[in-house]
């Protein structure tokens, strides 16, 4: 029996934990978080209040300070680029209004010019500050910021050039920018009141953004006709089945920014009558957005109280269920939810939430908000809002499974990748943060999921009460993935969030006598610097062509981008024919060639004859296999093996993450098995087996 000599720490997959279900219980659940929503307001990445105002981009950026995002977690940044355009501002009849903007210069040097490096640097710095804040930003660019049209470049190609320049900057911040508001033409950048609203111009604007932004970044347009023109289709054709037949990559990026929100029953032209035109009815837009995973929001329309009372019925539950629409459209952000002097904000504040009045199929448990005003209810639930509804802890002598039932009571969903970590704290303080499989991305509003988080107890943990936390990382590109992140998801349960650790308290367990850190015939490893965790075990010995076959299974929990180095002491045996690799992505055998053993390695090309070292049957040798994200290499007794061309690195079928096992055929394995697994940066994990 191969027995484990030493282990650093561990995080086993669920499969590993279940295999030890018969072990003696060694932990009991003492307390849990309150399963009620605390009804508090807080920021979460990519959703909620997203303040932002207009700022000018100028060639020399002497006003660069105006262009930085705020210190809030989320913002919508609006930039005017009129300093890079020759065109004058126009009125509704396209009459030149030379005095309307007498306080600014509407053109620079009498010509349309590209954005300067200083201007682009200002945009980049704004996103960079947002990243440093652990925040997100949805930007819009335009040439005029009020109701007057025009001011765009006279040369339309200048607009396309500006989009290309901005796309290069934005593409560096996919972790910060989930979507771009298309804008750029028309008053406020709302794609109306412009010389360039005709189909041929709008389509080129939309196409330029799609081509110059990352393929997984959403593009939000002002209203459905923009998409219908771009797709060269009609509402009935699109809603009636065209969605299923269209390019799914494009469809996944389609969204809207609604700057006339709740101003009329059709949101000031955002929605129309539908039918045979390119406009959509409100219900058609709702149907489309229900299936999307993109940001949706904008700002409330500016209207008077008397106009609202006479013309808007969206907050009357007997005539329209606005709460159900918020869930169907996945409302995720609004710029003006805190503009308390706006009529619509006041109307929302004076309307109380009632679960019975606003009931709909699939409504989550919103009992904690009964009687709360609709403005607060809306702000608190924009995007996603996770509430722990149940906890179970199954502990054995070596490991445990933490089961957490989570309900998303928010309107939308998490739109960034996430990573889950279980944090443990005993009486002496924090012990470790253990990375585990699972994700909350894709959990839509009103849905529940149960996270089954398997992990092994880390070395050195003290017996007695242990607090268990769940951290939901939302990684930023400039973070190593270790330590406390700048961006993490907060749960809504009362009193559960630890701001210092950016983790959510889940439960307290009592670890009792008999906790043996590691079981026989299993190895685990954990690296504190990166949170990398691995797990694996030896399979039963089999035979292949009369020769012994030993296989080492690599189990779930291997971090993305991981590389592995495995070293085995073995006695040389020979096969008469090469076997099937039996699922091993990197296998090694000796094949008889005129009575002498010749090494062969298995890679994506199949079996490759290797040379460089001569051995004899029954020799004791040291074999080393190194596997990375796309390559495998071999060494015997410290000498690298190569094929006939001298190549020493061979294409692998998968990284260690997808590698199911390492297979050694014809080998009488003896001595130590040593595995060393690393993710940048070093130091590595080291596992010793006997």
Q: Helix/strand/coil (H, E, C) string of 58-105?
A: CCCCCCHHHHCCCCCCEECCEEECHHHCCCCEECCCCCECCCCCCCCC
Tell me which DSSP letter residue 369 carries.
G
Where would I find the beta strands (DSSP E) of 594-667? 596-603, 606-609, 620-627, 631-636, 639-640, 650-651, 661-665
CA–CA separation, 622 vs 634, rounded Å?
11
Neighbour count for residue 499 (Cβ, 10 Å): 9
| Contact predicate 535/521, CB 8 Å | no
Q: Which CATH architecture is the domain 539-689 placed in?
A: Sandwich (2.60)
Question: Which tokens sit at 667?
Answer: 């080998």
**Residue 132 neighbours by CB under 8 Å, 6+ apart:** 486
Say how far apart CA 143 and CA 97 lie, in whole Å: 15
The continuous run of DSSP H or E covering 673 comes out as strand 668-678
pLDDT confidence of residue 470: 97
Q: Over the Cα atoms of the chain, what is R_g?
A: 30
**Residue 188 phi, psi (nearest 5):** 60, 10
Distance CA 131, CA 406 (A): 28
Tokens of 70: 């705020």
C-beta separation of 74 from 49 below 8 A: yes
Q: At what angle do helices 199-212 and 156-170 cross, to 10 degrees?
A: 20
Using CA atoms, how far residue 23 sits from 17, 86, 406, in Å, is 10, 77, 28
DSSP-assigned letter for residue 368: G
Q: What is residue 620's predicted lDDT score, i.e. its pLDDT?
A: 84
Q: Give burial (CB, 10 Å; 0-12/13-18/19+) of 667.
A: buried
Both tokens of 656, joined, read: 């260690």
Question: Across the strands, what pairs with 493?
Answer: 37
- 548 Cβ neighbours under 8 A, 6+ residues apart: 541, 542, 573, 665, 666, 667, 668
Q: Is 500 exposed, middle or buried (0-12, 13-18, 19+ CB in 10 A)?
A: exposed
3-state DSSP call for residue 422? strand
The pairs formed by 199-207 with CB atoms below 8 angstroms and a separation of 24 or more are: 199/229, 201/156, 202/226, 202/229, 202/230, 203/229, 203/230, 204/156, 204/160, 205/159, 205/160, 205/163, 206/182, 206/230
Beta pairing partners, 300: 261
C-alpha distance from residue 428 to each of 254, 278, 458 (Å): 51, 65, 14
| Residue pair 661/667 in contact by the 8 Å Cβ criterion | no
Is this prediction's pTM over 0.85? no
The DSSP result for 160-210, as a single string, is HHHHHHHHHHHGGGTTT-SEEE---SSGGGSS-SSTT-SHHHHHHHHHHHH
What SS3 class is residue 123?
helix
Cα 493 from Cα 368, distance rounded (Å): 11
The terminus-to-terminus CA distance of the chain in angstroms comes to 8
Token pair listed for 676: 């060393």
Q: At what angle do helices 322-329 and 374-381 cross, to 10 degrees?
A: 10
Cβ partners under 8 Å of residue 574, min gap 6 = 547, 590, 591, 592, 597, 617, 666
Q: Going by DSSP bridges, is the β-strand pair 532-538/136-137 parallel, antiparallel, or unpaired? A: unpaired
Which residue, 330, 391, 396, 322, is CA-closest to 360? 322
Q: Which two tokens stand for residue 563?
A: 């590389």
Provide the token pair at 110. 């009498």
Q: Which burial class, exposed, middle or buried, applies to 71 when counting CB atoms under 10 A from its CB (0-12, 13-18, 19+)?
A: exposed
Q: What is the CATH number of domain 4-42+385-511?
A: 2.60.40.770
Report the largest interatomic distance among the alpha carbons of the chain, rounded to a whole angstrom: 99
Reference 386, options 311, 329, 444, 428; nearest CA is 444
Residues 153 and 205: their CA atoms lie apart, in Å, by: 13
What does the DSSP 8-state code read for residue 576? Answer: S
Closest CA to 227 of 195, 211, 251: 251
Cα dihedral angle (200, 202, 203, 208), rounded to 10 degrees? Answer: 120
Average pLDDT for consecutive 10-residue bins of the chain (690 residues)? 22 26 56 96 94 85 60 86 80 56 50 91 91 93 78 92 98 97 91 89 98 97 95 89 81 96 94 82 95 96 96 96 98 96 98 97 97 98 98 81 96 96 88 85 96 81 89 93 91 96 95 52 40 52 65 49 63 72 59 86 84 87 74 88 90 54 52 39 29
In this prediction, residue 383 carries a pLDDT of: 97
Residue 219, token pair as written in the block: 């593009």
Question: Measured between alpha carbons, how far is 98 from 113 in angstroms, rounded to an integer?
Answer: 20
Report phi then psi at 341, rounded to 5. Answer: -90, -5
Asked if 383 and 410 count as a contact pair (C-beta separation under 8 A), the reply is yes
504 touches 517 (CB < 8 A): no
- Number of C-alpha atoms within 13 angstroms, CB side, residue 64? 17
Where are the domains positioned within the chain? 4-42+385-511, 539-689
**Contact by Cβ (8 Å): 586, 523:** no
Tokens linked to 397: 């002598």
């Amino acid at each position: 029996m191969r027995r484990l000599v030493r282990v650093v720490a561990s995080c086993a997959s669920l499969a590993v934990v279940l295999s030890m279900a018969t072990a003696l219980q060694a932990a009991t659940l003492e307390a849990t978080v309150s399963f009620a929503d605390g009804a508090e307001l807080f920021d979460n990445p990519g959703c909620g209040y997203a303040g932002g105002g207009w700022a000018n981009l100028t060639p020399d950026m002497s006003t660069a300070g105006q262009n930085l995002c705020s210190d809030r977690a989320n913002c919508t940044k609006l930039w005017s680029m009129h300093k890079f355009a020759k065109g004058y501002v126009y009125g509704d009849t396209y009459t030149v209004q030379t005095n309307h903007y007498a306080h600014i210069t509407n053109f620079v040097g009498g010509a349309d010019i590209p954005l300067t490096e200083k201007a682009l640097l200002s945009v980049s710095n704004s996103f960079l500050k947002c990243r440093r804040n652990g925040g997100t930003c949805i930007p819009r660019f335009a040439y005029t910021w009020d109701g007057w049209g025009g001011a765009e470049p006279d040369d339309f190609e200048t607009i396309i050039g500006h989009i290309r320049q901005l796309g290069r900057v934005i593409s560096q911040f996919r972790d910060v920018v989930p979507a771009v508001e298309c804008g750029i033409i028309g008053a406020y950048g709302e794609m109306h009141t412009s010389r360039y609203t005709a189909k041929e111009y709008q389509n080129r604007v939309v196409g330029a953004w799609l081509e110059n932004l990352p393929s997984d970044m959403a593009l939000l347009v002002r209203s459905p006709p923009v998409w219908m023109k771009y797709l060269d289709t009609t509402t009935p054709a699109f809603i009636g089945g065209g969605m299923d037949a269209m390019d799914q990559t494009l469809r996944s990026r389609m969204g809207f920014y609604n700057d006339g929100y709740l101003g009329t029953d059709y949101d000031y032209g955002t929605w129309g009558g539908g039918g045979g035109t390119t406009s959509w009815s409100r219900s058609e837009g709702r149907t489309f957005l229900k299936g999307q995973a993109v940001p949706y929001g904008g700002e409330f329309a500016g209207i008077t109280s008397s106009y609202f009372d006479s013309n808007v019925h969206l907050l009357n539950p007997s005539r329209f269920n606005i709460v159900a629409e918020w869930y169907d459209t996945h409302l995720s952000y609004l710029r003006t939810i805190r503009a308390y002097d706006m009529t619509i904000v006041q109307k929302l504040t004076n309307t109380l939430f009632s679960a019975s009045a606003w009931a709909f199929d699939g409504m989550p448990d919103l009992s904690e908000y009964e009687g709360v005003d609709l403005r607060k209810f809306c702000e608190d639930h924009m995007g996603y809002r996770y509430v722990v509804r149940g906890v179970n802890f199954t502990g054995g002598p070596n490991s445990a499974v933490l089961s957490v039932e989570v309900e998303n009571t928010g309107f939308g969903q998490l739109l960034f990748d996430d990573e889950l970590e279980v944090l443990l704290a005993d009486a002496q303080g924090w012990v470790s943060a253990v990375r585990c499989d699972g994700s909350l991305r894709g959990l839509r509003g009103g849905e529940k999921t149960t996270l089954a988080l398997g992990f092994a107890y880390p070395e050195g943990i003290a017996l007695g009460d242990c607090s268990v936390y769940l951290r939901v990382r939302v990684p930023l590109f400039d973070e190593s993935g270790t330590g406390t992140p700048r961006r993490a998801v907060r749960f809504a349960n009362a009193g559960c969030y630890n701001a210092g650790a950016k983790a959510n308290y889940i439960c307290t367990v009592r670890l009792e006598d008999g906790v043996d850190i590691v079981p026989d015939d299993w190895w685990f490893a954990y690296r504190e610097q990166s949170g990398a965790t691995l797990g694996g075990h030896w399979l039963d010995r089999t035979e292949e062509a009369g020769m012994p076959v030993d296989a080492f299974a690599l189990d779930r929990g291997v971090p993305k981008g991981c590389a592995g180095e495995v070293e085995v002491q073995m006695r040389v045996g020979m096969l008469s024919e090469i076997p099937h690799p039996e699922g091993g992505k990197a296998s090694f055998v000796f094949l008889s060639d005129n009575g002498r053993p010749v090494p062969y390695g298995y890679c994506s090309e199949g079996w490759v004859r290797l040379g460089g070292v001569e051995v004899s049957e029954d020799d004791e040798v040291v074999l080393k296999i190194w596997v990375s994200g796309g390559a495998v290499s071999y060494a015997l007794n410290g000498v690298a093996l190569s094929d006939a061309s001298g190549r020493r690195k061979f294409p692998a079928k998968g990284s260690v993450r997808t590698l199911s096992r390492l297979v050694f055929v014809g080998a009488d394995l003896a001595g130590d098995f040593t595995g060393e697994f690393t993710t940048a940066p070093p130091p590595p994990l080291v596992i010793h087996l006997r």
